[in-house]
Chains A and B, each alone.
Chain A
Amino acid sequence: MITSEETGFAEETTLLQVLERCHALATSNEVTGDEPYGAIGYFPVYFPEEIVHAAGLRPHALLGGGNKLEVRLADARIGSFVCSICRSTTELGLNGTLRGMKGFFSQPICDAAKHMAGIWGRNFPAQLAQILALPQNVTSPAVVQYIYDEYQRLRGVLAEQVGHAISDEAIRASQGVYNENRCLQRELYRIRRDDPARLSAVETYLLVRAGTRIRREAHNGILRKALELIVGRRVRPRDKPRVVFLGGFCEQPPLEMIETIEDACFIVDDDLLIGQRWLTEEVPLDGDPVWALAESYVMRSASSPVQYDSCKPKEEMLMRMMQAARAEAAIITAAKFCEPGLDDQLALSHRLDAENIPYLVLEFEEKMTSFEQMAMQVETFAESLLFQ
């Protein structure tokens, strides 16, 4: 089992071994509670992990149960027409997989997510169960002050949890760790944009997702090693269309789905686990660290269908993404019952129609297990792009 301390790699470690470790981490959902750092679970998309990290706790991104989990108990608790990630997250709670978690936070990303804190509080009274009220208005001059206040509230709640104050120094130190981590992630994505044959989307995904299961110091070690090995990787070029993938900001598509797409296309950029890369530049380490973090949420951040920002129209963000990634087509997906995703899917497809850019619309569920039909669609899409 990987301890959250472990960072070092033997000289002879291969990229495959690094990926195997990441796979083991990425596919483990259990929080036993006997790890050295208490885990604070948070529901997608973004969470100010630095504050949790500085408290000596481990932020644990809740990413659903995937398609290996059997939902037995949660169906009795969640309405029929609600997305899979709410269902499976509740299941992981009810079946004891998350028993060791110290707390649960969701944010107002959508109405179902807001309910999760309530469900958690009713069923797991021993755990913190709260909403971190990140704002849906990020253009008002008053917003940074508000986020600052809400972060301070979180800081207080966590301090109570661990029984000691969380110092500015501690937060600043954590910010250093996270700045490096996001920088390493950006490097992974850069390499993939430049040469997708060198690093696949599934591999990138596993490398990033592993970070949600260990302390960031450890993850930085993994990413550094991986980057060093990727550079030396020898690959056969293949003739596949370059596409971007959208729709992985909250509920996660099964690995099979990403693989199915990659069988026929190069995914040169995506919004998978976008919360892990939410802050797009270094968080300044001078001044009040919490203020810096709050300000970064507004000034240096990515976009998603569940964050309103009049400065970041969804269509424009997609166009920029495709341009930067030199993508010729887009795969616009949405999770079943994900209202924000479905609304944006329509808006984006209208824009792509107008721009006459080929795109494929897919609907997925984290729990899906059959991919024949999807493969047929993706292959057809690739055939229509290649044989023109």
Chain B
Amino acid sequence: MNYVAGIDIGSTQAKGIMLDEQGTITGKAIIDMETNMATAAEVVFQQLLASTGLSATSIAFTVATGYGRYRVTFGDLQVTEISCHARGALAAFPNTRTVLDIGGQDTKAIRIGDSGEVTDFAMNDKCAAGTGRFLGAASFALEMPISAIGPLAMKATHPVRITTTCTVFAETEIIGHLAKGHREEDVLMGMHHSIATRCASLVRRVGLVPEITFTGGVSRNPAMVALLQEVLGVPLNVSDQAQFMGAIGAGLYALDNLRAGRRSAHCGEEVAR
């Protein structure tokens, strides 16, 4: 039995997915980014094998994606996260025409054509870089886990207006508002709102065509989902595998290659530890 792997090396997390020949997910692994992407890739891969009890020899093809895709020493092919997120989103929601992914480095809006091909994509311009980290800044300023931020924001009654688009100033502005006596949830909601608005404008750049699938870890944030739906005026697909979408897409590309008769150069050899 042959298996394929998709490895997604992002700036904050490394994720891995294993698929069998039918394309069913047989293994998953996720770790927080280590200081060295190459070793992070190794670790994820080893966890992936451990989770499935397979040996590296049975992995017939591996596709790497994400910013660290070229650092995956055992990768057979590199595909950008744009294509991979699109592919993953389509697998989860076949009617997807637009994909939104909020990442740590980049936020992307991807337009998908009728044959499932990527026809256009837009990424944040420099001044709105690291939008995803807005939330990180908030969790630091408020000293609370990132997972708690969305739910708390949902409690807002009078959201404040966050005007800065610059991540550098997010933390200051949050502290400033709190100092003025605004409630945490209102400040948080304001911040979610400013992120949602900016992501919406990215989606508009590629043309707002439903269905829209929201991928990436931030899609776990209920406030963000609710706001995006409000701003975009359409419901969003959110998969419970959302943060694995890139890896899944990579895995599916690996499967294509396997089916096209290509096999890993590394296949059969143990991956160095």
Residues of chain A contacted by B163 (CB below 8 angstroms): 67, 367-369
For B202, list chain A residues within 8 Å (CB): 76
Contact yes or no, B197 A72, CB < 8 A? yes
Chain B residues within 8 Å of chain A by Cβ, number: 19
Interface residue? B1 (CB, 8 A): no
Interface residues of B in 132-176 (CB under 8 A from A): 161, 163, 165, 172-173, 176
Which one of A72, A81, A370 contacts B127 once the chains associate, using CB atoms below 8 Å? Answer: A81
Does A323 count as interface, using CB distance less than 8 angstroms?
Answer: no
In B83-133, the 8 Å CB interface with A consists of 122, 125-128
Chain B contacts with A in 187-224, Cβ cutoff 8 A: 197-198, 200-202, 204-205
Q: B125 contacts A79, CB within 8 Å?
A: yes
Q: Which residues of A contact B172 (CB under 8 A)?
A: 370
Q: Do A370 and B200 have beta carbons less than 8 Å apart?
A: no
Given the known inter-chain contacts A80-B126, A80-B127, A368-B163, please indicate yes or no for A72 contacting B200, CB distance below 8 A.
yes
Question: Are A73 and B204 touching (Cβ within 8 A)?
Answer: yes
A336 → chain B closest CB, angstroms: 11
Tell me how far the C-beta of A94 lies from the nearest C-beta in chain B, rounded to whole angstroms: 10
Instruction: Report B-chain residues with C-beta under 8 Å of the C-beta of A370.
Output: 172-173, 176
The answer to whether residues A372 and B126 also contact, given A70-B161, A75-B201 and a CB cut-off of 8 A, is: no
What are the residues of chain B within 8 A of A67 when measuring CB–CB?
A: 163
From B200, which residue of chain A is reached at the shortest CB distance?
A72
B222 to chain A, nearest CB (A): 22
Chain B residues with CB under 8 A of A372: 176
Q: What separation, in Å, do the CA atoms of A368 and B173 have in the docked complex?
A: 11
Mark interface residues in A263-293 (1 if CB within 8 Å of B CB, else 0): 0000000000000000000000000000000
How distant is A119 from chain B, measured CB to nearest CB, in Å?
A: 15
Query: Smallest CB-CB separation from A81: which chain B residue?
Result: B127
Report chain A residues within 8 Å CB of B205: 76
Kindly identify, within residues 223 to 248 of chain B, every residue whose CB is under 8 Å from any CB belonging to chain A: 231
Give the most central of A73, A81, A368, A370: most B CB within 10 Å: A370
Point out the residues of chain A lying under 8 angstroms from B231, CB to CB.
72
Contact A70 B197 (CB under 8 A): yes
B125:A72 contact, CB within 8 angstroms: no
Residues from 26 to 74 in A contacting B, C-beta threshold 8 Å: 67, 70, 72-73
Residue of A nearest to B194 (CB): A70
Q: Tell me, rounded to whole Å, the shortest Cβ–Cβ distance linking B135 to chain A.
A: 19
Q: Which residues of A contact B176 (CB under 8 A)?
A: 370, 372
Query: What is the CA–CA distance of A72 and B165 in the complex, to the nearest angstrom?
Result: 11
Residues of B within 8 A of A79 (CB): 125
Given contacts A80-B126, A80-B127, contact A72 B161 (CB under 8 A): no
Chain B CB count within 10 A is highest, among A75, A81, A370, A372, for A75
CB-nearest residue of chain A relative to B176? A370
* A73-B125 in contact (CB<8A): no
Chain A residues whose CB sits within 8 angstroms of the CB of B165 once the complex forms: 75
Interchain CB contact under 8 A, A76 and B127: no
A75 touches B126 (CB 8 A): no
Give the shortest distance, in Å, between A280 (CB) and chain B (any CB).
Answer: 37
B201 lies within 8 A of A76 (CB): yes
| CA–CA, A80 and B127, complex, Å | 6
Instruction: Give complex CA distance A370, B197 in Å.
Output: 20
**CB-nearest residue of chain A relative to B165?**
A75
CB contacts under 8 Å to B, within A147-178, are none
Smallest Cβ-Cβ distance to A369: which chain B residue: B163
Min CB–CB distance B104 → chain A (angstroms): 19
Give CA–CA (A209, B150) in the complex, Å: 42
C-beta contact mask, A78-89 vs B, less than 8 Å → 1, else 0? 011100000000
A76 to B122, CA, bound (A): 10
Q: Closest CB of chain B to A69's CB: distance in Å?
A: 10
How many whole Å from B108's CB to the nearest CB in chain A? Answer: 14
**What is the 8 Å Cβ interface bit string for chain A, positions 218-246, against chain B (1 contact, 0 not)?**
00000000000000000000000000000
| Chain B residue nearest in CB terms to A370 | B176
Q: How far is the CA of A368 from the CA of B197 in the complex (A)?
A: 18
Cα distance A367–B161 in the bound complex, in angstroms: 12
A346-384: CB near B (< 8 Å → 1, else 0) gives 000000000000000000000111101000000000000
A158–B228 Cα distance when bound, in Å, is 43
Task: Give bound CA distance, A367 to B128, whole Å.
Answer: 16
Residues of B contacting A80 in the complex (Cβ-Cβ under 8 angstroms): 125-128
Please pick, from A72, A368, A369, the residue contacting B201 in the complex, using a CB distance under 8 A: A72
* Residue pair A75, B173 in contact (C-beta under 8 Å): no
The answer for the CA separation of A367 and B204 in the assembled complex, in Å, is 23
Distance between Cα atoms of A368 and B169 in the complex (Å): 12
* Distance, CA A360 to CA B161, complexed state (A): 30
Min CB gap B195→A, angstroms:
12
CB contacts (< 8 Å) of A73 on chain B: these are 201, 204
Q: Closest approach, in angstroms, between the C-beta of A349 and any C-beta of chain B?
A: 25
The 3 tightest CB contacts between A and B, nearest first, are: A80-B125, A76-B201, A80-B127
Q: List 16 A-B contacts (CB under 8 A).
A: A67-B163, A70-B197, A72-B197, A72-B201, A72-B231, A73-B201, A73-B204, A76-B122, A76-B202, A80-B128, A367-B163, A369-B161, A369-B163, A370-B172, A370-B173, A372-B176
Assuming A72-B197, A72-B201, A367-B163, what are 7 further A-B pairs, CB within 8 angstroms? A70-B161, A75-B125, A75-B201, A80-B125, A80-B128, A368-B163, A370-B173
